[in-house]
Chains A and B, each alone.
Chain A
């Protein structure tokens, strides 16, 4: 009876609590540092029911608790190659004895990875070999006492997004105004489950073309002012050539093969370019620019991204120059409305006087405060897939686009974009003379461009995107000039139609018989001349009236 009572008393104890961890450590005193988030020995070694336990205990399974991680591990290259949990984790060690990648892969030199040192220094192994849930480039700038940079000095166009040009300008500003007064760090951070190491690492294009990884960059500025801004990731991770993109470039379209240029494995030099572009090379080689700055063709032109000159818009052209001339905004601070000018000009508009300048007009839409040129892809979304803009324009199908059709087309685009379409404009080069080296430091005359005599008024084009290329439709001297494109232009054609001093002065220095021709030339400017003239005459008579009133004291 006593035995039965004792059995009943002890049975539950021995059946459910089995043996305590202290009892285990009594023999296995090597595991005294064991922590594992406070679990007991028995939680894993659950087949040790009583002491002494059987000699060979079953192997505990990690996946009982760590289901998700174990599943990820099973599908990873480590899982496939049967590397067990214990391969990296020493479960009985105090710090769980985590191994790093380096412990096994110390000799991972990545010899085939271009710029391997740069890559290995900036990235963790799993950035490329794992599957990141999130990834971001974090740039931190800590200003020390005395140095202040305001938000507006970085984000010049105020769109809260730093592009390459703005970044370069910012760097120049830091070097100039805050030398030694700031520290900068750049981190490529990823949120990766380390258990999911892939069989194949991420392809180059994941970061360098598609930007599925590190598609975001944040600038954090701390100092006496604090702010955060987004930066285009391409500022830090450059685009690389891809065969798909290459096929769309001028070289690709004209069937220039890889081996046509890559004669050897060394870098491309001018001799390769001269094979086809000897004329241009002849012009360029004698310019100051070629002798002192960009001495090789490839310094400015990326052979994998070559596009016909007409396909490159003002902003993209400016980006080519600003790769070296990073401080171009500061250098032009004498120019009023500097950023506004750079929104409508390219560098060679002024620095290549022998090239032909044109005014180009294009369809734009506004994204916030930002102007975005409508591309073919944008229009395709508005109309239908694979739409031919030429056919959409030529409504009556006579093979000729007249001004009415163009105007109606614009009205249509505007309607589809809920009124958010307008005509943008740039003054750019349309026929190139390959000399960009002319400095015109002393010739800071606004009137060169801001007058009706500006050369680009002689050459105005309306640019329409068509599938794969841009159409340049001349405006002057065509049917468009009769009912001019300015019908729907949102810009002020400075100097045109509005009277200037020289017009008025011209009136007083006319030779005999010149008046009829001059009067006709003035055209609608007569409105201003008559209006202001009459105002002056009236004021003159009022003054006489006042004088007589004072004289007769009335």
Chain B
């Protein structure tokens, strides 16, 4: 087993802040969506959801600027034609080969951190869903102020539908993400990597 440096510190810090925010936003969001449940006081949930939302917007901006300045958006996130083939291999690995003890067809490195499936997931999440969720969230933060924009989109009900739908996708993604974090070289390899920065990989 060898150790490979994968995640620089700014990204690791961002990851955990982002993780905490997503968790808090989902739990306050559930309270807002279903007043019958009792996680928070409704008024507090509304207030916290708004605050955490703005912090998330800030944290997203930080993430985006980090990659823009250091470069790597293209390297890590953009899907290339050969990745399509890689996706098939990746799916086969997760569904069949993993149980036979086969090795992951993709080995992460500083040059290319994510496997093709991850690329697909993160690309859609960070470049489509997250911006949509943040923009709809900001519009929700002061409905009267953004009224004209909201009406152009199709009213508050449509806005609500989009915001909640993207919220559900985050929830679905979170479940998968948490589980797949245990599918590294060893059970905790991926988790160690995002804490210490060093990933565990098999010897060549």
Residues of A within 8 A of B (CB): 407, 410-411, 414, 450, 483-484, 486-488, 492, 494, 497-498, 524, 527-528, 530-532, 534-535, 538-539, 542, 545, 548-549, 552, 554
Contact = CB atoms under 8 A, between A and B. Distances in A.
Interface stretch (B65-73, B151-159, B188-196): B151-159
B157 A531 contact: no
Contacts of B150: 487
A411 B144 contact: yes
Contacts of A531: 164-165, 167-169, 171-172
B119 to A, nearest CB: 20
Contacts of A530: 168
A528 B157 CA distance: 14
B10 interface: no
Nearest to B171: A535
B147 interface: yes
Contacts of A528: 33, 164, 168
B42 interface: yes
A484 B156 CA distance: 9
A450 B34 CA distance: 12
A484 B33 CA distance: 19
A258 to B, nearest CB: 48
B155 A552 contact: no
Contact of B35 (A414, A488, A494): A494
Contact of A492 (B35, B169, B175): B35
Interface of B: 32-36, 42, 98-101, 143-144, 147, 150-151, 155-157, 160-161, 164-165, 167-169, 171-172, 175-176, 179
B143 A488 contact: yes
A539 B178 CA distance: 11
Contact of B155 (A410, A411, A487): A487
B144 A483 contact: no
B175 A538 contact: yes
Nearest to B173: A538
Contacts of B155: 483-484, 487
A158 B178 CA distance: 45
B179 to A, nearest CB: 5
Contacts of A545: 179
A488 B96 CA distance: 52
Given A414-B144, A531-B168, A524 B157 contact: yes
Contacts of B101: 552, 554
A483 B160 CA distance: 14
A552 B32 CA distance: 43
A498 B36 CA distance: 11
Given A407-B147, A492-B32, A538-B176, 17 more contacts: A410-B144, A450-B36, A484-B156, A486-B156, A487-B143, A487-B150, A487-B155, A488-B147, A494-B35, A498-B34, A528-B164, A528-B168, A531-B165, A534-B168, A538-B175, A542-B179, A554-B101
Nearest to A537: B172
Contacts of A488: 143-144, 147
B165 A527 contact: yes
B172 A538 contact: yes
B157 A539 contact: no
B59 to A, nearest CB: 24
A528 B33 CA distance: 9
A483 B147 contact: no
B156 A487 contact: yes
A411 B149 CA distance: 13
Contacts of A494: 35
11 contacts: A411-B144, A483-B155, A484-B157, A487-B147, A487-B150, A498-B34, A524-B160, A530-B168, A535-B172, A545-B179, A554-B101
Nearest to B176: A538
A527 B168 contact: yes
A175 B145 CA distance: 50
A545 B167 CA distance: 25
Contacts of A492: 32, 35, 42
Most A-side CB within 10 Å, residue of B34, B157, B171: B157
Given A527-B165, A542-B179, A549-B99, A534 B172 contact: yes
Contacts of B143: 487-488
Contacts of B165: 527, 531
Contacts of B151: 483, 487
A487 B165 CA distance: 19
Most A-side CB within 10 Å, residue of B144, B167, B176: B144
B4 to A, nearest CB: 22
Given A483-B155, A487-B147, A498-B33, A524 B161 contact: yes
Nearest to A488: B144
